[in-house]
Amino acid sequence: MKITYTDVLVVGGGLAGLRAATGVKERGHDCILLTLVPPKRSHSAAAQGGMQASLGNSIKGEGDNEDVHFEDTVKGSDWGCDQKVARIFTNTAPKAIRQLAQWGVPWTRVRRGDREVVINAKKVTITEKDEAHGLINARDFGGTKKWRTCYTSDGTGHSMLFAMDNKAHEDKIEVRERMEAMAIIHENGRCYGAVARNLMTGELVAYIAKSTIIATGGYGRIYKVSTNAVICQGMGQAIALETGVATLGNMEAIQFHPTAIVPVGILTTEGCRGDGGLLTDVDGYRFMPDYEPEKKELASRDVVSRRMVEHMRKGKGVKSRYGDHLWLDITILGREHIEKNLREVKEICESFLGIDPAVDPIPVRPTQHYSMGGIRTDYRGESQTMKGLFSCGEAACWDMHGFNRLGGNSVAETVVSGMLVAEYVSDYCESKDSDIDLHISVIESFLNKEKEKLNFLIKPKEKAEDAYELRAKMEDIMMDDVGIFRNGEDLQKAVTELEELLVRSKNIVVKCKTLTANPELFNAYRTQRMLKLALCVALGALQRTESRGAHSREDYPERNDKDFLNRTITTWKNENDTLPTISYEEINIDEMELPPGFRGYGKDMTITNPKSEKRQNEVDKIKEKLEDEGKDRFEIQEALMPFRDMLPDVYQGKNERLYEKFTKDVK
């Protein structure tokens, strides 16, 4: 039996995991990081577009600050997010990006003087100020009031991830590559680490830690076509769910990105539209202004995706053997711009479509892209129901995205939540609460259980099932019945069919019998777990009889603040259950800084909650009074929804900007 002890176990080597690991290490805690792939190959590398942080350096970002970013984020979430968390996040994003700049990210910088950009299909000249020259630049992204998305050409995620991994090398983080976390070790509501499997040798190891951070990314691969990397299978959420104690939040909140290429689903970044690219239909007609006259192509992602499907349903899609699609036209941006700022897009078009995007339009359609749901945590990143279990990044439901996340807010979230959770975890590790008092027999039983499960998978069975087949069925069901537009009938069918698949998956037989490196074996146990997650998504979607953000019910088109201004909480109570258990956590309107309102797309179909108006009046009154008293924006915010004390001391400072400097510290 192999047991390794450490202070903090980090599962996941993407941006979130690496940032958390370096954070706890710098606070003096030992740390081991497990990852399926070398950290630099994590899915974070694929983020092309950018990171939102309200620096306000560029002329089109002037006047931006935490308040504007907060408002965009809350509206984007369709009021489903935790507003305190959104505040914590928008406060810390500028710090995170500046820190990353120190650590080597070559952010694209502002250049003084005139620059030609494309806004609303027209070439416009903007003039950057002298004093902004050389500061971090930003581009336009959907759902934001200001140009706030900072970027490195078109390789933002790549250069952030490389800088983070290099930092981890500097900090001597112990990284264990090709180690898969298989089960969370826990007893009496306390997490003690995880059982992991070496994907090369098959060896099982128990990692025992004071606290465990799950940063394993999203679960997009339960869908047939996804922009996600093939390893985004939600295994972190699944093993948390399998404890029967930890909970998942908002699993049905799935984002579809408007512009993935057809058929393979590789993403072309939102930067294409941010920089001025257009969506056109079979007639070459630009249709978005008809649906969203104000924001057009740059409406929120969920909105654009739905409009595209609506338009295709009207017969305006381009027919192909892979189904209908639309065009993304970036030819207007010109070759020079494409080759410099959208080079990754150009490479993708050349390599996977054999076209030149400076000349040809790109075939695109909405495709599964982001998992808003995840391991439900409090603002400190700790599970609400299991001590010592933390989560951050896309794996978590922290919850700053609610039912729709804004482009560029995700890589920002990974580093911000990583740096904050590292502090809270360190505090926990330094408290008595984190002492480990666990009998060795408990560890042994968790190890044995995993061993037995693997042995059972290779054992011959009477009604042998094939994991690849079950998985393909699941992917189809999710795509067809739990997609962009949902309805009760399809969802019910999906739940029933997925439940059957889950039952059948108990009889999976792995034909290749080796317990060492064996792709068929890991596909088998991951399929079993993905089926559970798929059920959480489908059942959550079935029971949420309203439309909010990315969750869109054709039979319940209204956002229902009366009954559903809440978070879906999912558990898997007993190992032999074939369905998850769902409950709801209320979102308290009385504490909101920004009470629920109209998001501003299409026509307002909200079933309002009477509390919203009451709170709005309160907020207006407080604002008016304090403004009259001459209070500044920080004091007014503080009076509405205090959050600063929730932050670790080191991150409580105010962010300076070109036109906003502070003489003394806030604290």
Ligand X SMILES: Cc1cc2nc3c(=O)[nH]c(=O)nc-3n(C[C@H](O)[C@H](O)[C@H](O)COP(=O)(O)OP(=O)(O)OC[C@H]3O[C@@H](n4cnc5c(N)ncnc54)[C@H](O)[C@@H]3O)c2cc1C
Tell me, by CB under 8 A, how many residues bind another protein: 81
Q: Which helix (H) or strand (E) holds 582?
A: strand 581-586
Interface residue with another protein among 117, 353, 622, 646 (CB under 8 A) is 353
**The one segment of 47-55, 127-135, 375-383, 589-597 that binds ligand X by CB under 6 A:** 47-55
CB contact at 8 A, 77 and 401: yes
Beta bridge partners of 118: 123
**The one segment of 29-37, 335-343, 516-524, 571-579 that binds ligand X by CB under 6 A:** 29-37
- Cα–Cα distance between 152 and 202 in angstroms, integer? 39
Interface residue with ligand X among 8, 9, 32, 36 (CB under 6 A) is 36
353 binds, among ligand X, another protein, none (CB under 5 to 8 A by kind): another protein
- Within 43-82, strands assigned E span 51-52
Burial of 58 (0-12, 13-18, 19+ CB in 10 A): buried
CB of 284 to ligand X, least distance (A): 27
- Cα–Cα distance between 287 and 611 in angstroms, integer? 38
**The one segment of 292-300, 473-481, 569-577, 650-658 that binds another protein by CB under 8 A:** 650-658
Interface residue with another protein among 188, 336, 359, 519 (CB under 8 A) is 519
Which residue out of 69, 148, 197, 273 is catalytically annotated? 273
Reduced DSSP (H G I as helix, E B as strand, rest coil) percent helix, strand, coil of the chain, to 5: 40, 20, 40
Nearest to 402 by CA among 370, 430, 447, 448: 370
Closer CB to another protein, residue 115 or residue 493? Answer: 115
Tell me, by CB under 6 A, how many residues bind ligand X: 48
Would you call 158 a catalytic residue per the annotation?
no
Which residue out of 43, 139, 148, 257 is catalytically annotated? 257
Cβ-Cβ contacts under 8 Å for 170 (sequence gap 6 or more): none
Interface residue with ligand X among 8, 9, 10, 15 (CB under 6 A) is 15
Number of Cβ within a 10 Å radius of residue 344: 20
Instruction: List the x/- string, 223-252, binding to ligand X by CB under 6 A.
Output: ----xx--xx--xx----------------
DSSP 568: E
**The one segment of 42-50, 132-140, 450-458, 602-610 that binds ligand X by CB under 6 A:** 42-50
Interface residue with another protein among 2, 111, 145, 449 (CB under 8 A) is 111
**The one segment of 315-323, 389-397, 596-604, 606-614 that binds another protein by CB under 8 A:** 315-323
Helices 519-543 and 488-505 pack at an angle, to 10 degrees, of 150
Q: Is 527 in the site for another protein (CB under 8 A)?
A: no
Instruction: List the x/- string, 262-301, binding to another protein by CB under 8 A.
Output: -xx-xx----------------------------------
Q: Is 180 in the site for ligand X (CB under 6 A)?
A: yes
Nearest to 200 by CA among 630, 570, 517, 461: 517
**The one segment of 94-102, 285-293, 404-412, 479-487 that binds another protein by CB under 8 A:** 94-102
Instruction: List the x/- string, 406-435, binding to ligand X by CB under 6 A.
Output: -xxxxxx-x---------------------
CB of 299 to ligand X, least distance (A): 17
Q: Which helix (H) or strand (E) holds 329?
A: strand 326-329
- Cα–Cα distance between 186 and 196 in angstroms, integer? 14
CB contact at 8 A, 551 and 371: no
110 binds, among ligand X, another protein, none (CB under 5 to 8 A by kind): another protein
- Cα–Cα distance between 231 and 7 in angstroms, integer? 27
- Within 148-303, strands assigned E span 149-150, 174-177, 179-187, 190-198, 204-214, 248-249, 254-261, 278-280
- Cα–Cα distance between 155 and 274 in angstroms, integer? 15
Q: Which helix (H) or strand (E) holds 498?
A: helix 488-505
Interface residue with ligand X among 61, 76, 157, 317 (CB under 6 A) is 157
Residue 287: both structure tokens together:
């249709």
- Relative to beta strand 179-187, strand 190-198 is antiparallel
- Cα–Cα distance between 435 and 107 in angstroms, integer? 42
**The one segment of 43-51, 68-76, 299-307, 544-552 that binds ligand X by CB under 6 A:** 43-51
CB of 532 to another protein, least distance (A): 22
Give residue number: closest CB to ligand X: 14
Interface residue with ligand X among 47, 168, 184, 195 (CB under 6 A) is 47
Interface residue with ligand X among 9, 14, 143, 570 (CB under 6 A) is 14
What's the half-sphere exposure (Cβ side, CA atoms, 13 Å) at 248? 39
Q: Is 551 in the site for ligand X (CB under 6 A)?
A: no
Closer CB to ligand X, residue 395 or residue 420? Answer: 395
- Cα–Cα distance between 412 and 415 in angstroms, integer? 6
Q: Which helix (H) or strand (E) holds 32?
A: strand 31-35
14 binds, among ligand X, another protein, none (CB under 5 to 8 A by kind): ligand X
CB of 375 to ligand X, least distance (A): 11
Q: Is the peptide bond before 263 cis (omega within 30 degrees of 0)?
A: yes
Contacts to another protein from residues 433-472, by CB under 8 A = 468
Q: Give the gyration radius of the chain's Cα atoms.
A: 24
**The one segment of 235-243, 290-298, 313-321, 609-617 that binds another protein by CB under 8 A:** 313-321
Closer CB to ligand X, residue 51 or residue 535? Answer: 51
Closer CB to ligand X, residue 88 or residue 592? Answer: 88
CB of 22 to ligand X, least distance (A): 13
Give the position of tokens 């926990």.
428
CB of 355 to another protein, least distance (A): 12
Closer CB to ligand X, residue 364 or residue 542? Answer: 364
Contacts to another protein from residues 158-177, by CB under 8 A = 158-159, 162, 165-167, 169-170, 175, 177
CB contact at 8 A, 355 and 215: no
Would you call 29 a catalytic residue per the annotation?
no
- Cα–Cα distance between 492 and 650 in angstroms, integer? 49
- Cα–Cα distance between 620 and 293 in angstroms, integer? 29
Could you list the residues that contact ligand X (CB under 6 A)?
A: 11-17, 34-37, 39, 42-44, 46-51, 156-157, 180-181, 215-217, 227-228, 231-232, 235-236, 267, 269, 369-370, 393-395, 407-412, 414
Point out the residues that are catalytic. 257, 273
